[in-house]
Structure 1
């Protein structure tokens, strides 16, 4: 297992922008995070504004010159958006094409047609996992939960028995598997390899979804027995589509970027020669931006044109996919600015100095930090980005695989115990027609199971690879 030792950490390559001692830096970090938490949870200020103000307060509390704090924040914001902004945009376009073309419905209907009472929870987990690859969590919920409610109503299924697996599939993909914003931002912050992180993320995601989904849903159905709320069940809106894309074409389009990025990672491991022609090709086609771009371009034909959408309709779909992600991009960018401010005031050096005699699992430490921020702010993305900035020094001199596991440990911690300060908590509560207590017993506990189980698999993998 990777442990935090002084010889594994590198000194900050840049001179800190403040001469504050460790005590003042520690207080500054606590104050900055406290302000961030207070603004998000108490005053309901948008996470972008909260992260911006929190970064300025962090720098001021550390005694740094305001001009230098602003420079650190804007530098981190720009670098983060440059690193992940295009990927988030491409993922949003692919998700919107999937929804508007009827491709998502095709996947759902095809799998459900082959499911029975015993296999239905597994089918819902599979659907959510596939759909959740290119979609943001909130989009996935809006897309899938109405289907879950309709299936539960018409098939007389326990809502928790099939709803929990769907939520687990979406949540695990959101927290552990790029190209979702949180994992992408963490990969950028600790300089991890995206292909390796993706491969390990999928490897950990599968058993985690099984345990937190179909297995845990047995207990959730006993604890909370509710029927789908009639107010939330409505017939699907009529579509002006002449046809829907085929199941095979839809699945191949969704999985194309995953396959290309995995191929790049596998070739790098097997060949390990930058001059090898095969590795040079996979380095290009497996680059995240190329892989996602290829899937989007393919989707224009296999999803859009296959559904009978004309050029104007496809253009509107693409336009409509970009506007909703503006807020996400700003949050991710501001999180990068917060992270850079943490680094520039010398938090990395402080962690190094304090850790000289430690023998603590770096992966466990990253998970605990992400858990604390998640519980305080309610945002998995904010928790991932902030924790990645705090533990970035731990990645120095780590192997490629352990750096990827560090990212996954952060992602696992960011999913811990969603509660009343999380927008997802209220979204699930309202869709399922549950009380706050019922939502805690099901959704909140499910999120905790995901976080703890995935950490267990991460620590296990760290012993093997």
Structure 2
């Protein structure tokens, strides 16, 4: 019955946004309250589930600084002409025909160390500038960018096959069945209007790139340090160096340091006044504030699903034990994560819950050292499938690429599903050979 209530709530949300044209953030909050009531939650629990630490607050808390500061950095780089310089250089190096692959590879590398939201915030202004200069729709390059970022988040170590299939290859298909989404635009709300610059007056390519991805520097350092000194995990009793590395690698801290760096490199060093710098900061903040609220609204739905216990009920359904073949275990792990992903929305929640469920099955099938690796990859693949309205990533994609809800389903939901299914196929082949 709970699943029926979930479907009803999603339909209500779609009616509010697509038919009644109600503000997306308002629609998400209203729908979250409706879902909580339909699921029979206690009245005292609902406010916190929707708006508090389990709902909107859960998403906005850790993401506010990341999104706002990321938007500010992007605007500083754009207003100084840095994005224009990067765009011109990439087009000169790769040509228009190979731009998709250039964006895909760069995004994939960045996605290894950055969470999806950070990568989107930092890369969108650059990719938009490249699209304008190349004369192609933003989505033409954006699909490759988001496919790379999403694949890097879902697979550890990242799998190149899903990225390649869902990047340039899927773009060609999407252009045929959703042509309206591939409109050439010279302005999007998250970035602002495209501007022309005198190339000689813009910051050099190296400085522009460094400023744009400066948070990545700290995250790469932390990743390498952990791999060398702590076995890839955060130690239980960290020493001073461990604590410093962990501190600067925190996305919010790294973004704060990067913003200070950007104020100097794209502002003061470019002989801009602090008034001009402040204007860029304000415009950058305004551009992403609306997106941040919508992402928080998506968190409200997640909060209701988790607080109501629906995710736990789904997990209980999948509890199993006994001996199974390696192929069956991998398929089971993927299916559990996939169902949780569709129901709860959060890839993180789906992955962590699925891992807890599958642990018992792995314990009943000892002796295969590679099987846990393939199971972990399968969970990662399943946790990406069919992103829709209860996933913050759905709304991030919609707002950054200025799409309708229908277009977001056509592009983003299908893209995530292709990544998930392609990843599963590759994992099953690897399992059949090595496990």
State the TM-score, normalized to the length of structure 2: 0.69
Counterpart for residue 456 of structure 1: 422
Counterpart for residue 253 of structure 1: 211
Counterpart for residue 340 of structure 1: 303
- The change in CA–CA distance for 1:70 and 1:390 in structure 2 (over 3 A counts) is farther
Which range moved further: 344-353 or 405-414? 405-414
In 1: Cα distance, 2:107 partner to 2:80 partner? 18
Local SS of the residue matching 1:28: helix
Counterpart for residue 284 of structure 2: 321
Aligned counterpart in structure 2 of residue 104 of structure 1, from 40, 63, 83: 83
Counterpart for residue 413 of structure 1: 386
Aligned counterpart in structure 2 of residue 243 of structure 1, from 201, 204, 222: 201
Q: Which runs of 5+ in 1 are unaligned?
A: 1-22, 150-158, 178-196, 374-382, 430-435
Local SS of the residue matching 1:64: coil
Counterpart for residue 265 of structure 1: 223
Superimposed CA distance per residue, residues 334-371 of structure 1 (whole angstroms, 9 cap, x where no aligned partner): 2222222212222133113322248653444444665x
Superimposed CA distance per residue, residues 65-93 of structure 1 (whole angstroms, 9 cap, x where no aligned partner): 33331232122222321122111112111
Counterpart for residue 51 of structure 2: 74
Tell me if structure 1 keeps the 8 A contact 2:381–2:419: no
In 1: Cα distance, 2:49 partner to 2:200 partner? 52
In 1: Cα distance, 2:120 partner to 2:388 partner? 18
In 1: Cα distance, 2:401 partner to 2:97 partner? 29
Local SS of the residue matching 1:65: coil
Counterpart for residue 361 of structure 1: 332
Aligned counterpart in structure 2 of residue 92 of structure 1, from 65, 71, 74: 71
Aligned counterpart in structure 2 of residue 56 of structure 1, from 21, 26, 33: 33
Tell me if structure 2 keeps the 8 A contact 1:39–1:45: yes
Superimposed CA distance per residue, residues 267-310 of structure 1 (whole angstroms, 9 cap, x where no aligned partner): 33443344344422211111111111122111112222343322
State the TM-score, normalized to the length of structure 1: 0.65
Q: Which runs of 5+ in 2 are unaligned?
A: 112-117, 188-192, 322-328, 360-371
Tell me if structure 2 keeps the 8 A contact 1:200–1:404: yes
In 2: Cα distance, 1:276 partner to 1:74 partner? 37
Superimposed CA distance per residue, residues 409-431 of structure 1 (whole angstroms, 9 cap, x where no aligned partner): 54453289xx9xx95799589xx
Tell me if structure 2 keeps the 8 A contact 1:256–1:295: yes
Tell me if structure 2 keeps the 8 A contact 1:175–1:415: no
Matched pairs, number:
384
Tell me if structure 1 keeps the 8 A contact 2:85–2:202: yes
Tell me if structure 1 keeps the 8 A contact 2:384–2:420: no
Tell me if structure 1 keeps the 8 A contact 2:386–2:413: no
Matches within 5 A, 1:60-459: 60-75=37-52, 76=54, 77-116=56-95, 119-123=98-102, 125=104, 133=119, 135=121, 142-149=128-135, 166-172=141-147, 175=150, 197=153, 200=156, 203-204=158-159, 208-215=162-169, 237-239=195-197, 243-272=201-230, 273=235, 274-357=237-320, 361-367=332-338, 370=341, 384-385=345-346, 393-396=353-356, 409-411=382-384, 413-414=386-387, 444=410, 448=414, 451-453=417-419, 455-457=421-423
In 2: Cα distance, 1:199 partner to 1:298 partner? 31
Tell me if structure 1 keeps the 8 A contact 2:73–2:122: no
- The change in CA–CA distance for 1:244 and 1:308 in structure 2 (over 3 A counts) is farther
In 1: Cα distance, 2:9 partner to 2:177 partner? 39
Greater RCO, CA 8 A, separation 6+:
1
In 1: Cα distance, 2:277 partner to 2:22 partner? 35
Superimposed CA distance per residue, residues 140-190 of structure 1 (whole angstroms, 9 cap, x where no aligned partner): 6654432231xxxxxxxxx69xx775132333256456xxxxxxxxxxxxx
- How many angstroms does 1:209 deviate by? 4.7
Superposed CA RMSD: 4.8
